[in-house]
Amino acid sequence: MADAPPSSARRARRVTPAGLGRFLARRLGIGLVLVVGITLVAFILTHLVPGDPAAANLGQRALGDPAIVKAFNHEYGLDKPVVEQYFIYLWKLLHGNLGVSEQSHRAVITDLAQYVPATIELALFAIVVSIVIGVGLGVVAAVRRGKPVDTGLRIGSLLGVSMPTFWVALFVFYLFFFRLGWFPSGGRLNPGVSAPGHITGMYTVDALLHGQWSLFVDALDHLVMPGFVLGIFTVGTVLRFTRASVLEVINLDYVRAARAKGLSEWTVVRRHVMRPALLPIATVAGLAFGSLLSGTVLVENIYSWPGIGEYAYLSAVNLDLPAIMGVSIVVAIIYIVINLLVDLLYSILDPRIELR
């Protein structure tokens, strides 16, 4: 801090690099404990489910042969006591080994490396869609409160919240692929097109990084329909929260003071209303991201999107224990990171909030 600018801005800015470091260290520590806790819960839950991994994975004839079943159980460590199995799992996890999937026969970590970026790409697209549309329309509804626009948007958002995702997904699929043919039916790229070189695993981003414009368009084309369907799921929620949040701020003293200063209505809303109104919206968006992730199971299934939702579904159906555990850990980490980002966003938006 010796070379900090002489300006008095230093005292005003509460977030010092040292403070930020302490905050991150603390939160990452808590996150680690949470992840271990999640493995325990996931482990117990999968063992409570009545079912036999061998029965789910082996064919009829192999299942008839006790030697094969025994070999299967031995290979995946299923013949050991449950507690021992758990500690073996943790020990391997510590070394970055998530085990081998019982269906794909590949290391779970390899599977995840392939599927997670696809889902992140889809979910990020969806959350951007729902925040842009939801916040935008929510502000319009609040500013035009009581007018027909507002009423229309409120009814619309209610419909959006109450329409089941699977129905929307199928309807959109029917209309925009089957009827209109505007978008491809599913997958991440057209058949025969090879993926861009792996950097982030998100095809649109990688294509851009490699400067492959037509590949980017192809990937985006595939992303639009599932992304919108997944996003629509949360647009209604974000819209309603934004409207309420803006209405709460728009009549406050300091907003009236901004109007009294002769600022244009647009400046008043953009600068004086939106920032405080965004605080609760940041929380809602964080939660919405969580529900988006669970929405991916359905959307990925319908649009053949090879992501973690589809992977989680198949692993659960097949009692693929290592895969289920892997998915749980990844989802837990995503949640923790999103929460961390929301808290950081809070301290950026509101200087009165100290990071602790």
Partner 1 sequence: MTGEALLEVEDLTVRLRTARGIRRAVDGVSFAIREGEILGVAGESGSGKTITALALLGLLPLGARTSGSVRFAGTDLLTLRRRELQKVRGAQVSLVSQDPMTSLHPLLRIEVQMTEHVRAHLGFSQEQARERALEMLAAVRIPDPEQALASHPHQFSGGMRQRIAIAMALACEPRLLIADEPTTALDVTVQAGILALLDRLRRERGVSVLFITHDLGVLSSVADRICVLYGGRVAEHGATSVVLGTPRHPYTDGLMRALPGAAVAGAAMTPIAGSPPSLDAMPAGCAFHPRCEWAVATCATRVPALRDVGDGRLLACDVDPLAPVPS
| Contact residues: partner 1, CB under 8 A | 7-9, 11-12, 145-146, 251-254, 256-265, 267, 271-272, 275-276, 349-352
How would you class 318 by CB atoms within 10 Å of its CB: exposed for 0-12, middle for 13-18, buried for 19 or more?
Answer: middle
Least Cβ distance, residue 3 to partner 1 (angstroms):
18
The rounded radius of gyration (Å) of the Cα atoms in the chain is 24
Q: Which among 315, 152, 132, 292 has a CA at the least distance from the CA of 227?
A: 292
**Beta carbons of 233 and 291 less than 8 angstroms apart:** yes
Half-sphere exposure of 103 (CA within 13 A, CB side): 15
Cα separation, 190 vs 237, whole angstroms: 33
Residue placing its CB nearer to partner 1 in the complex, 6 or 181: 6
Least Cβ distance, residue 288 to partner 1 (angstroms):
23
Summarize the chain as % helix, strand, coil (round to 5). Answer: 75, 0, 25
Residue placing its CB nearer to partner 1 in the complex, 73 or 267: 267
Residue placing its CB nearer to partner 1 in the complex, 276 or 306: 276
Residue placing its CB nearer to partner 1 in the complex, 207 or 278: 278
Least Cβ distance, residue 355 to partner 1 (angstroms):
16
Residue placing its CB nearer to partner 1 in the complex, 195 or 252: 252
Least Cβ distance, residue 256 to partner 1 (angstroms):
6
Question: How wide is the angle at C-alpha 339 spanned by C-alphas 337 and 340, nearest 5°?
Answer: 65
Residue placing its CB nearer to partner 1 in the complex, 9 or 33: 9
- Residue 142: alpha-carbon gap to chain centroid: 28
DSSP 2-57: TT--SSTHHHH----HHHHHHHHHHHHHHHHHHHHHHHHHHHHHHHHS---HHHHH
Least Cβ distance, residue 287 to partner 1 (angstroms):
22
Least Cβ distance, residue 265 to partner 1 (angstroms):
8
